[in-house]
Amino acid sequence: MAPTDADLDDLRRRMREAAAAEDYDTAAQLRARLETLGGAAAVGSNLKRQEPGRMGLGTDTPAHRPPAGWKPPKKPDLTTSGVKGRRGPRTDP
């Protein structure tokens, strides 16, 4: 059964109240529950949970997931030739 928005809002409210009351253990437990119920987007994290069945070296480290719509920057053009030593515009007459 998938949690409703009201359930997630209630968990967020309880988490904020626990943090305001300086009950950080309860707040951390509620945040972990939010992440499992509503996914990482429910809390605003870019990390994804470890997937069962994917075992091996490095699988205990959370993998970074880029934000939606992110594109890698354009690579620089490395086709410069023979410009060693020039530090400014040419001043030839």
pLDDT of residue 65: 79
Amino acid at 23: D
Reported as a single tens digit per residue, the pLDDT across 10-19 is: 989 999 999 9
* pLDDT confidence band for 90 (50 / 70 / 90): low
Whether the predicted model's global pTM rises above the 0.85 cut: no
* pLDDT confidence band for 75 (50 / 70 / 90): confident
pLDDT of residue 40: 46
Distances (CA, A) of 6 to 26, 38, 64, 66, 70: 20, 12, 28, 27, 30
Give the start-to-end residue ranges of the domains of the chain. Answer: 1-39
Reported as a single tens digit per residue, the pLDDT across 15-66 is: 999 999 999 999 999 988 888 876 545 455 666 666 666 666 655 666 677 8
